[in-house]
Structure 1
Amino acid sequence: MSFLGRDYSSELDALGHGSKSLSESSSSSTTSESDRPAEEAGLSLPQTLIHLLKCNIGTGLLGLPLAIKNAGLLVGPISMLAIGVLTVHCMVILLNCSQHLSQKLQKTFVNYGEATMYSLEASTNTWLRTHSVWGRYTVSFLLIITQLGFCSVYFMFMADNLQQMVEEAHVTTNNCQPRKSLLLTPILDIRVYMLTILPFLVLLVFIQNLKVLAFFSTLANITTLGSMALIFEYIIQRIPYPSDLPLMANWKTFLLFFGTAIFTFEGVGMVLPLKNQMKDPQQFSFVLYLGMSLVISLYICLGTLGYMKFGSDTQASITLNLPNCWLYQSVKLMYSIGIFFTYALQFHVPAEIIIPFAISQVSENWALFVDLSVRTGLVCLTCVSAILIPRLDLVISLVGSVSSSALALIIPPLLEIITFYSEDMSCVTIAKDIMISIMGLLGCIFGTYQAIYDLTQPVNLSMANSTGVYS
């Protein structure tokens, strides 16, 4: 295996069954792809569609029933649809800005960070031109925060499910009855499970060449697909009539909904690399609209049906609501395996931004040591974050509010204004872009405040970490 390889374009082809983070790594890497012809990769339309679908389905999907609960049975699906439409619109904005700048600069491809930098360089404002490089730095920083946030969520997700599988094993049966409210005091704190997972993830991220992970990526996709099929098979059975479920929740929990929804819809960073990899990039708009329509429909269906199924008992991950029988315990196992291997792919983004800089500060003899040390340190950082904040739902909301909203809703509209302002941009378009950015900014501020406020409130750890069993 290679620890110091940098062949990103070939890695995307090798991982035809890859994930979101791999695409984002192409857009955030310090190695520019601007001069690489799109025809070299040659992704077909179906392949690109599959990539797009897989890039938007992760742990955030399993938290959507709780998100709908936080917004209300009526307001939740409508808001999910609205946020999805706005996010797709911002993806289109980013595509248009990138295409305009690449044609203007005579480049084959301009990624997210480069588009921000080049747009600021062409601005009529002297201060923006002088500080244009900070646009690229800002996008890279937000990608680092977002991806490390994903990795922290993965720690909590795997620990939650591992704790439930291990400590309910003695009462797990073949009789798949609905889970009831009986609580079982955990034998070990959930943080112990996080520490148990830590060394295995450290070893996993030492594999930098993503070609080595191709087999595991395929396995992750298979297990994820199987677990999703079983989840839907269960939640559509005997859904209770939702007469006692509120149509609208209070505004405080709605802010948590906003953060979770944005976290789930975060996919702006991968649209440019995917378009660049297509044989016929002109068809990408069709792929984007079709793929995101399917994704939005999946999100609304799982979130709404999951909340209707479990009601007030809806937990941070829908897998924690599944019956305590061997069939549905296998769902937790399969999804956790998929998330375990996806961790390395999500981790690839911040690693390839931070590690080259760290290596450049030392001699060649120390390069490998620094590389592995930084990887170990970053994994430990995500573990420590998960240990300090063992609230899966709130961390998802916090990451979504802080960085995902900036990448998905705030920056693209501002980028459009800066890019096209000197070319007789209409006042309606300017007003629309400002409105979207303000909405994203307000959601970022208030969603972050609410998530941090809830995180600072005292929690009964025995209750928070208790494991439900059925009687």
Structure 2
Amino acid sequence: MSMKKVSMEMNGDAPVRPVMDNYSSKIELAYNGSREDLDPYVPADHRPLESNTSSFGALAHLLKASLGSGVLAMPLAFKSAGLLVGSIGTMLVGFICAHAIHVLVKTSQQLCIEVKKPCLGYADTCDLVFQHGPKPVRRFAPLARELADWALAVTHLGACCVYIVVVAESFKQVSDVYGGPTWSITTYCGLTLVVLIPITQITKLKYLVPFSALANFVWLGSICISIYYCLRDPPPLSSRNISTSISGIPNFISTSLFAMEGIGVVMPIENEMTKPQHFLGCPGVLNIAMTAVVMLYGFVGFSGYLAFGEGVRGSLTLNLPEEEVLAQIAKILVACVMILSYALIFYVPVDVVWRKLQDRIPARGHRWGMAALRFVGTLLTVGLAAAIPRLELFMELVGAVCLSVMGLLLPSVVETVWLWGKDLGWGKWILIKNIIIGVFSLVALVSGVTYSIITMLEKL
């Protein structure tokens, strides 16, 4: 993506302005209206050479990142809402998540032109939007950065705890079936440290690529086996709830947000694209990926709840029949995927915390400081998983607290601040829309946390 070269024709003393490509002009006009003096800065032209991901590659990365452990949690979400409400709710939550991602990326692209930077991360976008916003809100820029950073870190720490519980429950079920030791879930959580401590000491992402590649193939196999059992002998629709009470909606929203929200990986993927204008738009990388994600999540949630009803667990594989070898293989495959994926997910909170600590540690102690941070972080996640070995409680709480803030509230606030005084649309409809999304996120936050804590106190 570069400016088209044009010859310089003279009209008096004024040269003709270079013709910009469609992407740059559209982004400029989006927030500057018809300003005559357009800035020809094109962010993608200044990205490093290693930022060479194609549009198809970006789509593959986004699908891979979105189709994680959450897909196996969707039957639990449908249990809270019912078949009909769950189906409609999945589409609604998917649309809201996709829109929140869209406005965040669009704001980031416009901001890159304003500040003349090739690309920006999530926290950088939040920070700079407030810095360049109306004077009364500029002092909140550090707070916006910290909120984005810590929401991202806590979300991924929660996901790490979920992974540990899935691994522990999967191995416990297989061990119980085949006459293994009758240890508790807490013991199995502790045993994961044997693998997790060495693997989390890998500090370079490139060394995690083989683990990620292997996990993708294993994950595909486990999902196919799970869907097979859901469709093998489904009961009639009348045997399941079409809808539930209003009290189940907060749990549905929290679990759905945990499952579908992939905003933490969106900015790194967009920042690596050679043609970032293909990320948004119609069809666009984002729209294609989110459509596929919503369809698959809705299908797995519907068929999983239909097959297993009120007994559905936090991970679909935990409901598979214990007497069949194929089902046990699926559980082991999922456990292996979680172990292989843990180090990659764990990289995010470690990176956030390390950026806060590294300046306080002498340079000669950085290596040991990083090793100690990773060791303590691993112990922390395993300790939390062992203390609250209820998978659904983790997912609901993480979805309610972190993803409501990071995935919905912050993008709507960031877009509002960025467009304030520029163009909030006819009748300020963008402001009204973002207020509605903000209220929705706060309702999801408060109600989700309330019901999660109540459930936690009742079941622990």
Counterpart residue type for residue 301 of structure 1: F
Structure 2 counterparts to residues 255-274 of structure 1, below 5 A: 255-274=250-269
Q: Which moved more, 1:299-308 or 1:351-360?
A: 351-360
Aligned to 1:287: 285
Compute the TM-score of the two structures, normalised by the length of structure 1.
0.84
| CA shift for structure 1 position 36 | 6.1
Counterpart residue type for residue 388 of structure 1: A
| CA shift for structure 1 position 329 | 0.8
Task: Work out the CA distance in 2 between the residues paired with 1:163 and 1:132.
Answer: 47
Q: What secondary structure, in the 3-state scheme, does the structure 2 residue paired with 1:310 have?
A: helix
Q: Does 1:453 align with 2:451?
A: no
Aligned to 2:432: 431
Counterpart residue type for residue 454 of structure 2: Y
Aligned to 2:303: 305
| CA shift for structure 1 position 352 | 1.1
Task: Work out the CA distance in 2 between the residues paired with 1:93 and 1:405.
Answer: 16
Structure 2 counterparts to residues 38-437 of structure 1, below 5 A: 40-126=50-136, 128-170=137-179, 187-285=182-280, 286-324=284-322, 325-426=324-425, 427-437=428-438
Q: 1:84 to 1:343 in 2, by over 3 A?
A: same
| Contact residue 319 and residue 331 of structure 1 kept, 8 A | yes
Q: What secondary structure, in the 3-state scheme, does the structure 2 residue paired with 1:152 have?
A: helix
Task: Work out the CA distance in 1 between the residues paired with 2:204 and 2:265.
Answer: 19
| Contact residue 400 and residue 446 of structure 2 kept, 8 A | yes
Gaps of 5+ in 1: 1-32, 172-185, 460-471
Q: Which moved more, 1:430-439 or 1:210-219?
A: 210-219
Task: Work out the CA distance in 2 between the residues paired with 1:204 and 1:270.
Answer: 21
Task: Work out the CA distance in 2 between the residues paired with 1:447 and 1:131.
Answer: 27
Task: Work out the CA distance in 2 between the residues paired with 1:288 and 1:54.
Answer: 13
Q: Which moved more, 1:355-364 or 1:425-434?
A: 355-364
Counterpart residue type for residue 60 of structure 2: I
Q: Which moved more, 1:424-433 or 1:409-418?
A: 424-433
Instruction: Give CA deviations for 1:240-295 in whole Å, capped at 9, x if unaligned.
Output: 10213111112222211111100111211222221221222221121111111000
Task: Work out the CA distance in 2 between the residues paired with 1:457 and 1:77.
Answer: 28
| Contact residue 120 and residue 271 of structure 2 kept, 8 A | no
Counterpart residue type for residue 96 of structure 1: K
Aligned to 2:12: none
Task: Work out the CA distance in 2 between the residues paired with 1:356 and 1:124.
Answer: 28
| Contact residue 34 and residue 111 of structure 1 kept, 8 A | no
Q: Which moved more, 1:358-367 or 1:374-383?
A: 358-367
Compute the TM-score of the two structures, normalised by the length of structure 2.
0.86
Identity of aligned residues (%): 30
| CA shift for structure 1 position 111 | 1.7
| Contact residue 131 and residue 141 of structure 2 kept, 8 A | yes
Aligned to 1:14: none
| Contact residue 409 and residue 436 of structure 1 kept, 8 A | yes
| Contact residue 45 and residue 118 of structure 2 kept, 8 A | yes
Q: 1:348 to 1:38 in 2, by over 3 A?
A: same
Counterpart residue type for residue 456 of structure 1: L
Q: Which moved more, 1:85-94 or 1:277-286?
A: 277-286
Task: Work out the CA distance in 2 between the residues paired with 1:312 and 1:339.
Answer: 25
Q: Which has the larger radius of gyration?
A: 2
Task: Work out the CA distance in 2 between the residues paired with 1:367 and 1:272.
Answer: 27
Counterpart residue type for residue 61 of structure 1: V
| CA shift for structure 1 position 38 | 5.8
Task: Work out the CA distance in 2 between the residues paired with 1:36 and 1:319.
Answer: 46
Task: Work out the CA distance in 1 between the residues paired with 2:279 and 2:253.
Answer: 28
Task: Work out the CA distance in 2 between the residues paired with 1:449 and 1:35.
Answer: 48
| Contact residue 164 and residue 338 of structure 2 kept, 8 A | no
| Contact residue 39 and residue 279 of structure 1 kept, 8 A | no
Instruction: Give CA deviations for 1:185-237 in whole Å, capped at 9, x if unaligned.
Output: x8211000000112321111101112212211111111001111111222112
| Contact residue 61 and residue 299 of structure 1 kept, 8 A | yes
Number of residue pairs aligned between Structure 1 and Structure 2: 412
Counterpart residue type for residue 225 of structure 1: L
Q: Which moved more, 1:101-110 or 1:354-363?
A: 354-363
Q: What secondary structure, in the 3-state scheme, does the structure 2 residue paired with 1:131 have?
A: helix
| CA shift for structure 1 position 306 | 0.6
| CA shift for structure 1 position 389 | 1.1
| Contact residue 145 and residue 403 of structure 1 kept, 8 A | yes
Task: Work out the CA distance in 1 between the residues paired with 2:54 and 2:80.
Answer: 39
Task: Work out the CA distance in 1 between the residues paired with 2:434 and 2:140.
Answer: 22
Aligned to 1:8: none
